[in-house]
Amino acid sequence: MSMTRRCFHATAICMFGFGIFAADAECAEMTECIRPLASTQDLREIREPDGIEAIEIVELRSIGSLDDSSTAFGQISDAAFGPDQSIYVADLLNHHVRRFSFSGEFLGTFGRQGNGPGEFQWPWKVAVDENDTLVVWDQRHRRFTRFDPGGMLVGTFNAPGNWLVTSMHFTPENNLVVGAFGPNETYGIHVIDPAGDVVRAFASVELDGAIYPGMIGSLAGGYADAHAGGVLYGHKSPYRIDFFTDTGEPVESCVGPAAWTTPHSQGWRRSGTTTEILWDEYKHVGGVFALDGNRVLTVILDPANERSLLQIVTSDCVLEARGVVARQTLEDRSGDYFLAVPIGAYVPEVRVVELRLQPPDR
Q: Which residue type is seen at 345?
A: A
Is the pLDDT at 32 greater than 80? The verdict is no
String of DSSP letters for 134-187: EEEEETTTTEEEEE-TTS-EEEEEE-SS--EEEEEEE-TTSPEEEEEE-TT--E
Which residues form the domain of 90?
A: 12-27+46-358
Q: Pick from 141, 277, 308, 170: which is nearest to 213 by CA?
A: 277
Residue 14, pLDDT above cutoff 80: no
The domain tally of the chain equals: 1
pLDDT of residue 47: 96
Query: What DSSP state is assigned to residue 270?
Result: E
| Residues 350, 306: Cα–Cα separation, whole Å | 18
Please report whether residue 7 resides in a domain. Answer: no
What SS3 state is found at 216? helix
User: Checking DSSP bridges between strand 337-342 and strand 350-358, what pairing results, if any?
Assistant: antiparallel
Distance, CA of 121 to CA of 39 (rounded, Å): 36
Q: Is residue 211 part of a domain?
A: yes
Res 221 pLDDT > 70? yes
Question: CA-CA-CA-CA torsion for 137, 142, 148, 150, nearest 10 degrees?
Answer: -80
37 occurs within a structural domain: no
Q: What is the pLDDT of residues 113-166, one digit of tens each?
A: 999 999 999 999 999 999 999 999 999 999 999 999 999 999 999 988 789 999
Domain with residue 125: its CATH number is 2.120.10.30
Asked if residue 212 lies in contact with residue 23, where contact means CB atoms within 8 angstroms, the answer is: yes
pLDDT reading at 180 higher than 80 = yes
**Whole-prediction pTM:** 0.88
Residue-level pLDDT at 240: 97
**Spatial CA neighbour of 159 closest among 118, 186, 191:** 191
| Summary mean pLDDT of the chain | 88
* Residue 1, in any domain of the structure: no
Domain membership flag for residue 39: no
> Quick check: 330 and 338 in contact, CB under 8 A?
yes
Q: What are phi and psi of 218, to 5 degrees?
A: -85, -40
Contacts of 43 (CB under 8 A, 6+ apart): 240, 253, 254, 255
> Does 36 reside within a domain?
no
- What's the pLDDT score for residue 184? 86
Cβ atoms of 47 and 317 within 8 Å: the answer is yes
- Asked if pLDDT for residue 30 goes beyond 70, the answer is no
What are the b/e assignments for 151-164, b being 16+ CB within 10 Å?
Answer: eeeeebeebebbbb
The reported pLDDT for the residue numbered 213 is 79
- Give 245-286 pLDDT, tens digit per residue: 999 999 999 999 999 999 999 999 988 889 999 999 999 999
Kindly state whether residue 145 falls inside one of the protein's structural domains.
yes
> How many Å apart are CA 321 and CA 330, to the nearest integer?
17
201: amino acid identity, one letter:
A
Residue 181 identity: F
Residue 170 lies in a domain: yes
Share above pLDDT 90 across residues of the chain, in percent, rounded to a whole number: 77
Q: Indicate the burial class of 123 (C-beta count within 10 angstroms; 0-12, 13-18, 19 or more).
A: buried
- Residues for the chain: how many in total? 362
User: DSSP characters for 323-339?
Assistant: EEEESEEEEEEETTEEE
Residue 246 corresponds to which amino acid? Answer: D
